[in-house]
Chain A
Amino acid sequence: MLTLTGVNKRYPTGDRALTDIDLNLPRGQVMALIGPSGAGKSTLIRCVNRLVEPTSGSIRLEETELTRLSGNALRRARRAMAMIFQEYALVDRLTVMENVLSGRLGYVGFWRSFTRRYPQEDIAEAFRLLDRVGLPHALDKRADALSGGQRQRVGIARALIQRPRLLLVDEPTASLDPKTSRQIMRLIRELCAERELAAIINIHDVALAQQFADRIVGLRAGEIVFDGKPHELDADTLTTIYGEEEWDTRVNEEDAESEPASAEPVPRMALATGGAS
Chain B
Amino acid sequence: MPVSTSPQGTPIWRLRTTRSQWLGYLGWLAGACLFLLCWKVISDNTMWVFVEDAGRQGGDLISRMLPPQWAYAHRLWKPMWDTLNIATLGTLLGIAMAFPVAFLAARNTTPHPLVRSAALVIIVASRSINSLIWAMLLVTILGPGVLAGIIAIALRSIGFIGKLLYEAIEEIHPTPVEAISATGAGRMQVMSYGVLPQVMPAFAGISVYRWDINIRESTVLGLVGAGGIGLQLNAAINSLAWNQVSVIFVMIFVTVLASEWISARVRHAII
Chain A residues in the interface with B (C-beta under 8 A): 49, 51, 75-79, 81-83, 85, 87, 89-94, 98, 102-107, 110, 113-114, 155, 158, 162, 168
Contact = CB atoms under 8 A, between A and B. Distances in A.
B179 A89 contact: yes
Nearest to A168: B182
Contact of B193 (A79, A82, A102): A102
19 contacts: A49-B182, A77-B184, A78-B182, A85-B175, A85-B178, A93-B197, A93-B198, A93-B200, A98-B193, A102-B180, A102-B183, A102-B185, A104-B183, A105-B184, A105-B189, A106-B185, A158-B183, A162-B184, A168-B182
A105 B186 CA distance: 8
Given A78-B183, A89-B178, A113-B193, 8 more contacts: A51-B181, A79-B183, A85-B175, A93-B201, A102-B183, A105-B180, A105-B186, A110-B189
B194 interface: yes
Contact of A82 (B178, B182, B189, B198): B182
Contact of A75 (B184, B197, B201): B184
A104 B185 CA distance: 8
Interface string B165-208: 00000000001101111111110110011100110110000000
A87 B183 CA distance: 17
Interface residues on B, range: 20 to 34
Contacts of A51: 178, 181-182
Contacts of B193: 91, 94, 98, 102, 105, 113
A85 B183 contact: no
A89 B184 contact: no
B179 A85 contact: yes
Nearest to A98: B193
Contact of A83 (B182, B198, B200): B182
A170 to B, nearest CB: 10
A148 to B, nearest CB: 14
B100 to A, nearest CB: 15
Contacts of B189: 105, 110, 113-114
B152 to A, nearest CB: 33
Closest 5 CB pairs of A and B: A106-B184, A105-B185, A89-B179, A78-B184, A89-B175
Contacts of A75: 184-186
A82 B182 CA distance: 7
Nearest to A76: B184
A49 B192 CA distance: 21
Given A85-B175, A110-B189, A91 B194 contact: yes
A49 B185 CA distance: 13
B182 A91 contact: no
Contacts of B178: 51, 85, 89
Contacts of B179: 83, 85, 89-90, 155, 158
A75 B185 CA distance: 7
Contacts of B183: 78-79, 82, 102-106, 158, 162
B192 A114 contact: yes
A96 B57 CA distance: 68
A79 B184 contact: yes
A158 B184 CA distance: 12
Contacts of B194: 91
A39 B183 CA distance: 25
A107 B176 CA distance: 19
Contacts of A93: 197-198, 200-201
Contacts of B186: 75, 105, 110
Contacts of B192: 110, 113-114
Nearest to B175: A89
B184 A92 contact: no
Contacts of B175: 85, 87, 89
A113 B185 CA distance: 10
Contacts of B181: 51, 78
Contact of A94 (B185, B188, B197): B197
A91 B185 contact: no
A155 B180 CA distance: 11
Contacts of A107: 184
A92 B182 contact: no
Between B176, B180, B183, the greatest number of chain A beta carbons within 10 A of the residue's beta carbon is seen for B183
Nearest to A111: B188
Contacts of B198: 91-93
Contacts of A78: 181-184
